Amino acid sequence: MPDDAGRMRADWDRRAREDARYYVAFGRREQEEAEFQATAADVVRGFDRELRRLGRPVEIARLRALEIGCGPGRLMLPMSRRFAELHGVDVSEEMIRLASQRLREAPNAHPAVNSGADLGAYGGGSFDFVYSYAVFQHIPSREVVFNYLREARRVLKTGGLLRCQINGLPSSGGEYDTWHGVRISPEEVRAFARAEDMQLLVLEGALTQYMWVTLRKRPAGWHARLAETTPSTPATVRRITNAFSTEPLAPCRGRFASAALWLENLPAECDLLHLEASVGGRRATPFYIGPPENDGLSQLNVSLPPCVETGLQPVALNWLGRPLAAPVILRVVLPGPSVPRVVAASDAVDLLSPTLISSGIVKVVLEEVERVEEFSASIDGIPAARLETFCVDPVPMRYEVNIYLPPTLPPGSHRLEMRLGARRFSPILLETPS
């Protein structure tokens, strides 16, 4: 771990000196402060949804939190307004210097340099909430990532939450560096939660680079004792909808092939490790247990199993090997036809630059692509000599494609044309600088 920490410190110090805002938000070179801080908004909203598990805003305002990999303080600035005290650690001294400047008017926010592998400066049971965003994806060592997770458990109070993002892509089998970090499977997350007596509440985006995990710290031996308990009052499913809408149906496959069950009397100890689901008699995958809503109901999201039949299908839930609630009926329908489409195109380095291509590489994001090998592109009628394809998310069949422009391409306007087999996409007009 010392070698990994030294490599991470050197690389992130260099990135901080070069362009910290770009390497943290990865949107545009030399971003203005307002634009940089705006990139935190969606992430903070996601944390706010998870913080509801800890109480109302007035109660959260009395709590202490910690950010792992705080960088230049992009998230710490808005998050400091939610807590009585907020700490942040980062392996890079340069990043912490920038964070200290950004947080100079937030007296309750305390950024600090750490070893890059642990949280040794903090005592056990110090925090109510520990979070991390787009950090573990850049750590090259599996040992370091899991040591951070164990350390997060140690510094959390019992009942406290860990909310973090992990690279869940399938293993590439190659070497990892401080930009393309180690990959952790959903099975490894589940094994960690069981071994460390953490209640697994969320495991979203499995098999993607941005797998979200929420874990609650429980007392030592919690899983063993839980397995011996008998649920008392059964829960009741009050309604079932699509997980992405209020429609009372779900397609049998594709990005919307999941259901949300709204339960009354869901046990507070219920978690994804001891929960089983089936749709039409086939095993389904629970991936989200939400906090109680104002009406007392809790949301449980379940991904439909592959090859589930269409029609009215029973949805059954078991917890600790026993029925959690009476089965309910979900209408399963055929999805609409796959329509391959371009959802984004930009410079591969400055992602907020949709038409000015300064890096010589165009990044295109495609969805609902079943055979990405049929993709082709040309610039001004000349076939692209080099394409790089990368599966971002297998569920919506989302791919990123890097299209390399010819090095001899002159400055000015150019026409990018793309095809997927016989399908032609609308051409895109690009500009290359002089």
Q: What is the pLDDT of residues 379-391, one digit of tens each?
A: 999 999 899 999 9
List pLDDT tens digits, range 295-332.
999 999 999 999 899 999 999 999 999 999 999 999 99
> What is the overall mean pLDDT for the chain?
95
- Please check the confidence at residue 136 and state whether its pLDDT lies above 60: yes
Q: What is the pLDDT of residue 230?
A: 74
- Please check the confidence at residue 346 and state whether its pLDDT lies above 80: yes
Per-residue confidence band for 172, with pLDDT thresholds at 50, 70 and 90: confident
Per-residue confidence band for 34, with pLDDT thresholds at 50, 70 and 90: very high
Of 204, 132, 195, 141, nearest in space to 168 by CA? 204
Contact 181, 137 (CB under 8 A): yes
- pTM of the complete model: 0.93
- Please check the confidence at residue 119 and state whether its pLDDT lies above 80: yes
Mean pLDDT of all residues in 237-257: 95
- Please check the confidence at residue 393 and state whether its pLDDT lies above 90: yes
Contact 332, 313 (CB under 8 A): yes
Q: What is the pLDDT of residue 350?
A: 87
Which residues lie across from 318 on neighbouring strands?
Answer: 276, 323
Q: What is the pLDDT of residue 3?
A: 77
Contact 88, 76 (CB under 8 A): yes
Rounded Cα distance, 392 and 299, in Å: 27
Torsion over CA: 197, 198, 203, 207 (sign): negative
Q: What is the pLDDT of residue 434?
A: 85
- Please check the confidence at residue 282 and state whether its pLDDT lies above 60: yes
Strands 198-204 and 428-432: unpaired
Q: What is the pLDDT of residue 228?
A: 83
Of residues 172 and 147, more confidence is placed in: 147
Mean pLDDT of all residues in 269-283: 97
Q: What is the pLDDT of residue 29?
A: 83
Q: What is the Cα 418 distance to its own chain's centre? A: 30
Contact 204, 288 (CB under 8 A): yes
Q: What is the pLDDT of residue 308?
A: 96
Q: In a 10 Å sphere around its CB, with 0-12 CB exposed, 13-18 middle and 19+ buried, how is residue 351 labelled?
A: middle
Q: How far is residue 196 from each of residues 150, 189, 192, 358, measured CA to CA in Å?
A: 8, 11, 6, 48
Mean pLDDT of all residues in 407-434: 95
Per-residue confidence band for 159, with pLDDT thresholds at 50, 70 and 90: very high
Mean pLDDT of all residues in 101-130: 97
> Which range has the worst mean pLDDT, 2-6, 67-71, 163-167?
2-6
Which residues lie across from 217 on neighbouring strands?
Answer: 198
Domains (ranges, CATH) in the chain? Answer: 2-225 (3.40.50.150), 230-333 (2.60.40.10), 341-432 (2.60.40)
Which residues lie across from 275 on neighbouring strands?
Answer: 319
Give the type of residue at 407: P
- Please check the confidence at residue 232 and state whether its pLDDT lies above 90: no
Q: What is the pLDDT of residue 229?
A: 80
